[in-house]
Structure formats: structure tokens, C-alpha cells
Structure 1
Amino acid sequence: MKAYDKIIESKDDIFKIANRYQLNFEDIERAKQYAFGKGVLQNQFIPDLRMAQSWQRMALGEEIDSDEVLLKHEILESELVINQGVNQLDAHKIAQNEYPWSIIITKGDKKK
């Protein structure tokens, strides 16, 4: 998906998102590589246009309410999988319980 390639090629999105949400740069970078990247976790996920759009909105400062939930979901899931060795399915369930992005997006969004 071209949107994923554009996200991976971006150089300043991590810094902008980390500053906007006052989150750790390394956590944002890990979440980005985990959700959109190629490499160790290459082709792990089916590309999701809504995730790509969410990331792009955050990078532009045009986020909607659910975007921060997605970000925190991906930070937690990537932490569990990459740093703690939890399998992806279990990590996703844990992250979904804490930050239920897919449920929230089905209910609609509002601009921040």
C-alpha cells in the first residue's frame, strides 16, 4: 500500500507526534515500525487504510479523537511483542482491552 510506504519514508513524523502527545520518541518510532514497517515484522499485518490515515493526520496535526487511541494501542502492542516477547495475538487483545481503537472507530469520530 502506497500510504504505508509514504509513512515509512517520512522523517519528521515521529518527532512531531512525540511532541504533540508528550510521548517517548523511541516508543513512537517502535510503534511506527511495528505497524507500518518492513523488516523483522515485514508483512505481518494486512495494510489498513484507516490506520494509515490516522497516522497521517497525527503527523499533520489534524488528528481526530480515535487517533491517539490508535497510537497508544500500537505503542502498547509493540512493547509487548518486541520488548516482552508476547505473541502478537495476545498482545493485540491486551492492547485492545486498554485502547479499543477498532471499536471506537466504528462508533464515529470527532475533530479534536
Structure 2
Amino acid sequence: MTSLALVDRKYIFEELCELSEFDPQYRQGLYAVFTESSTDGRYSVLYVGETGNYDGRGFSNHHKRPCWEQRKNRNLYIAIHKTPNQTADDRREIESEIIDYYGLLNFCNDRR
């Protein structure tokens, strides 16, 4: 299982897989959508979101999917950051921190 560390290793996103193969077994948390860099095989963050229920989120028809498709290099990948004891407000705070850190505002993310 591959994991990626974001925000200077502060948040670990686990279970990296192609978005088309994402089958969440976990209930709530944050998710990050990535693409591979075209030159060095590293992953670049395209989008960060939070949810109280991965199963109900609907990634194949996500409202930001067109942005992800437009900006991907090859494939789209997703990984999750588990937040078992955190509220929706806690998740949104982490989401905002990651968006700010990576400059994702007006990229594929926007403020709520």
C-alpha cells in the first residue's frame, strides 16, 4: 500500500490507487486527487476534499472531475487521510490548510 505525506509530512494520505479503482472501506476523512508528474514519476496534488461518507461522495461524477481531467498528465489517483475522531469542521480546517499550502485555490479547489 502506497502512502503520500502532505504539508511537510504533517498529513499522511494512504491507500493510493487509480481513481477508477477506488473502493473506499473507510467512512469519513479527507481525500486528495493526484496525477503523476510527466518527468520524474512523482505525484502532484490536483484537489483536496473532505467527506463524512466516501461511499456517498460519487467520485465518477464529482463536480470538479472536469478540472481533474483537464489537468492530469496520465492517470488520476486518489488517497485518503483518515479522521476517525474529527468533526466536519475539523476536516474542513485541514482541507483549507492543505489547499493554502499547495496553492490549490482557483486551481481545482475553491472556498466554500
Task: Give TM class, smaller chain.
Answer: 0.3 to 0.5
- TM-score, normalising length from structure 2? 0.34
Bigger relative contact order, structure 1 or 2 (CA pairs below 8 A, ≥6 apart): 2
- TM-score, normalising length from structure 1? 0.34
- Looking at secondary structure, tell me which structure has more strand per residue: 2
- Looking at secondary structure, tell me which structure has more helix per residue: 1
